[in-house]
Structure 1
Amino acid sequence: MAEEPAAEVQVLRRQKATLIEILSADADFVLQHADARCLLSPHGYQQVKSCRIPSEKVRDLLDHVIQRGPEAAQGLLDLLKEQALQETYPMLCFVKDVQVETLCSGGKDVSRKRKAPELQNIVPTKQICSKGCGLVKERQLMSVARSIGRSWREIGRLALDISSVKLEQIEEDHSLHVERVFSMLRYWRTRQRGKATAAHLHSLLSQEDWALPPESLESLLETD
Structure 2
Amino acid sequence: MSEEPASVIQLLRRQKPKLIEILSADADFVLQHADARALLSPRSYQQVKHCRTPGEKVTDLLDHIIQRSPESAQGLLDLLKEPDLQKAFPMLYFVKDLDVHTHSPEKEVTSIKRKEVSKELEVIPAKKICSSDSSLVTEKQLMSVARSIGRSWREIGRRVLNISSVKLEQIEEDHSLHVERVFAMLRYWRKLQRDKATAAHLHSLLSQGDEALLPEDIDFLINSD
- The TM-score with structure 2 as length reference comes to 0.44
- The higher radius of gyration belongs to 1
- The TM-score with structure 1 as length reference comes to 0.44
